Structure 1
Amino acid sequence: MVKITKTVSCNGAEIPVYHVETVDFGRLLSQEPAELEKLLHICQTEGYFYLDLQGIDGRRMLADEQDTLELMHRFFEQPLEAKNEFGLVSPHLGYEPIGARTGVLKDSKAGYEMIKVSRDEIQKSYPNIPAVLRSSADLKVLENTIASSNIACKTILSALSTSLGLTGAARFENTHRNDRPSTTTLAMMHYIPSDPAKDENVGHQKHTDISSLTFLFSEQWGLQIRPPGSKEFGFVEPKKGCAVINVGDSLRFASGHTMQSCIHRVVPFDPTEHRYSIAYFMRAEDSTMFVDSEGRYISAGQWHDEKFRAFKALPAQQALAPPTLLLGGMVEDDSEPAKALPYQVAAFV
């Protein structure tokens, strides 16, 4: 049963705020049986949770978040030509300007810009990133944030492997090795002020993530989820000292479709606010094979490329894609109409 903790007023409507379970990072590191069991249950029934990082082992990640936020503010304040020095080098490296993807409203464009730095790239001696981020101090911030996010995600994968009794090469973390090519990336996003009633660039469309795990920081409202079995989208309240973790498509597929991938989107909560979020998308090695939501035996790299193209496509083109692509095979419960939110288009996928 999906729990609603309260409602908040947003864009003229009362929107639910969903209860989100909390998992303690320190207890996962210690492999405490009760915490491992709790984690597995959450991933199999909900697909999202808070990761509490306030203990001694997680505080460095919170400090890395603050350093990254400072870097982001400086980057996004640069002229467009400086931010867009290379453009989008690859799907997981480079700059995407405002409106590069589909927005949360029908016929709208995305209301955010994004800079992405891949884990493969940051490990090179001379990473290919815009000059405004190439100082030794900025490179160290990016390296620290990618490293700490990677450690957190590997800890979660290891805990899930142990909970399921997986051994050797079958363990999830063994298809997420640092020295093997993958599309794992750190994405830093700036959402511009936008009013759903009049603006053309609004939020981020509903989807599930390509990744195995998404490690997300945001101190501001805007993230909405649609939990399995729920009738509508509702907010995730920002929680101090915690990251939000989403299970993505690749982990769902690797688990034999027993884990839940989180359907989510981003909407403007305060139309006058600049919103910033940091997402580390941990993805399986490109050569990892699994059965996708269409029943195909494909590689993680192929799944990434197909879904990324769908993200970038126009709504008319998205409609031609397999219906399971943007939502990773997750089914929305539409047995009853969703509440009419000002920015919701229930028929648009």
Structure 2
Amino acid sequence: MAISTDVPQTVDWNGKKVPVYPMEIIDFSKLLSQEPAEIERLVRCCQDEGYFYLDLRGIDGRRMLEDQQDTLKLMYRFFDAPLEAKNEFGLVAPHLGYEPIGSRTGVLENTKDGYEMIKVSRDEIQKDSPHLPAVIKNSPDMKILEHAIAGANIATKTILSALSTGLGLTGAARFENTHRNDRPSTSTLAMMHYIPSEPTAKNIGHQKHTDISSLTFLFAEQWGLQVRPPGSKEFGFVEPKEGMAVINVGDSLRFASGHTMQSCIHRVVPLDPTEHRYSIAYFLRAENDVMFTDSEGRLITAGQWHDEKFFAFTSPPEIQALAPSSMILGGMTEEDEAVEATASKDAPSPVVGATTLGESVQVY
């Protein structure tokens, strides 16, 4: 399955027409049945583009759609609470706790991000007394979070298993055997609230990045997510589709696949600057002590990669500059019209890993 060469649909954003990129649809029920044709399509999606829709409208996926709606209701209540209540514990760990608006750099130069986020890790939710703000630490809300995490974990493990089968992996080499449920990991559920943001605002969107995760399982009913397909020259929107989640490959699975899979470059911008936007993402990550080779050729654990990348992009620019250049986008490369135009004029080459067009980079 080659990347589509069809002229994409466009939408108006920020005074220009921006593409809406087509995405393949993978049927969750067919993956559960290990149907060979669907597994082959899945492997090609991950190798060619690094993202796809997961169709959950069959009987096996409907519970996850119901869990999404319950989680959204919890999020509306949580994000409406006073800041002191939401931030009771602050950020306990990079994959657990609350981050207020403006904690990171924004989409455009000299801006801060335009979202707040509460993260609940899979390991933490199973404890007798997990670190959660009191405003959602009650029996009904805990059950909602457990269901959301369990459903997303089942879906992403099903995808990993299908990828292993499609690539002919056996025994310990299968991807799911480095994502065992009883081993410590930084797998987490992230719930995000984006505030209304005009293009001239000081807090806007979520800047471009690749995810640390092996797989990201995303629900978002509103427009705003943009991807940059391999080989493309610009970001384009992803159309929200009812009954479907958006799945994207992250750095860890790219590394584990011998760099044959594409880690999806993406960001979030406000298509409608007047709305509050909500999204739910489950980041499936490898066990903390799993080893792989990153894009610099370093042998590194999944836990170390998570901590290094998170630290790099929550640090001042002078500290970020010390990180390997490939850490910014997980070793993925970009073709940029501005860079090409500069090169054609024999200007100095841009620094490897530098951003262009006033963009900045971030990581979950």
Scaled to the shorter chain, the TM-score interval is: over 0.9
Can you give the 5+ residue segments of structure 1 that lack an aligned partner in the other structure? none
Residue 78 of structure 1 pairs with residue 90 of structure 2: no
- Residues 73-112 of structure 1: pairs in structure 2 closer than 5 A: 73-112=76-115
After superposition, what is the alpha-carbon deviation per residue over 1:288-345, rounded to whole angstroms, capped at 9, x for unaligned?
0000011100000000001101221234543443221120000002367699xxxx82
Q: Rate the CA distance shift 1:299–1:162 in 2: closer, same or farther, 3 A.
A: same
Query: Of the candidates 214, 217, 232, which is equivalent to residue 216 of structure 2?
Result: 214
RMSD in angstroms over aligned alpha carbons?
1.5
Aligned to 2:316: 314
Q: Rate the CA distance shift 1:196–1:317 in 2: closer, same or farther, 3 A.
A: farther
Residue 64 of structure 1 pairs with residue 76 of structure 2: no
Aligned to 1:325: 327
Residue 267 of structure 1 pairs with residue 269 of structure 2: yes
Aligned to 1:250: 252
Distance (whole Å) between structure 2 residues aligned to residue 346 and residue 83 of structure 1:
32
Residue 122 of structure 1 pairs with residue 125 of structure 2: yes
* Secondary structure at 2:313 match in 1: helix
- Residues 155-194 of structure 1: pairs in structure 2 closer than 5 A: 155-194=158-197
Shift of 1:166: 0.7
Query: Of the candidates 293, 296, 301, which is equivalent to residue 295 of structure 2?
Result: 293
Distance (whole Å) between structure 1 residues aligned to residue 173 and residue 340 of structure 2:
40
After superposition, what is the alpha-carbon deviation per residue over 1:72-123, rounded to whole angstroms, capped at 9, x for unaligned?
0000000000000000000111000001111111121110000000000011
Aligned to 1:54: 57
TM-score by length of 1: 0.96
Q: Rate the CA distance shift 1:335–1:194 in 2: closer, same or farther, 3 A.
A: closer
Q: Is the 1:338–1:346 contact (alpha carbons within 8 Å) kept by the matching residues of 2?
A: no
Paired amino acid for 2:78: F
Distance (whole Å) between structure 1 residues aligned to residue 305 and residue 8 of structure 2:
36
Q: Is the 1:107–1:315 contact (alpha carbons within 8 Å) kept by the matching residues of 2?
A: no
Aligned to 2:345: none
Can you give the 5+ residue segments of structure 2 that lack an aligned partner in the other structure? 342-355
Residue 345 of structure 1 pairs with residue 345 of structure 2: no
Q: Is the 1:103–1:203 contact (alpha carbons within 8 Å) kept by the matching residues of 2?
A: yes
* Secondary structure at 1:245 match in 2: strand
Distance (whole Å) between structure 1 residues aligned to residue 118 and residue 7 of structure 2:
34
Shift of 1:346: 6.0
Q: Rate the CA distance shift 1:74–1:159 in 2: closer, same or farther, 3 A.
A: same
Aligned to 2:136: 133
Aligned to 1:152: 155
Q: Is the 2:107–2:359 contact (alpha carbons within 8 Å) kept by the matching residues of 1?
A: no
Q: Rate the CA distance shift 1:42–1:282 in 2: closer, same or farther, 3 A.
A: same
Query: Of the candidates 8, 12, 16, which is equivalent to residue 15 of structure 2?
Result: 12
Q: Is the 1:217–1:279 contact (alpha carbons within 8 Å) kept by the matching residues of 2?
A: yes
Distance (whole Å) between structure 2 residues aligned to residue 265 and residue 208 of structure 1:
9
Q: Rate the CA distance shift 1:74–1:347 in 2: closer, same or farther, 3 A.
A: closer
Aligned to 1:276: 278
Aligned to 2:228: 226
Q: What number of residue pairs does the alignment pair up? A: 344
Give the % identical residues.
Answer: 73
After superposition, what is the alpha-carbon deviation per residue over 1:218-251, rounded to whole angstroms, capped at 9, x for unaligned?
0000000000010100000001100000100000
Distance (whole Å) between structure 2 residues aligned to residue 267 and residue 244 of structure 1:
17
Q: Is the 2:108–2:359 contact (alpha carbons within 8 Å) kept by the matching residues of 1?
A: no
Distance (whole Å) between structure 2 residues aligned to residue 184 and residue 178 of structure 1:
10
Q: Rate the CA distance shift 1:70–1:24 in 2: closer, same or farther, 3 A.
A: same
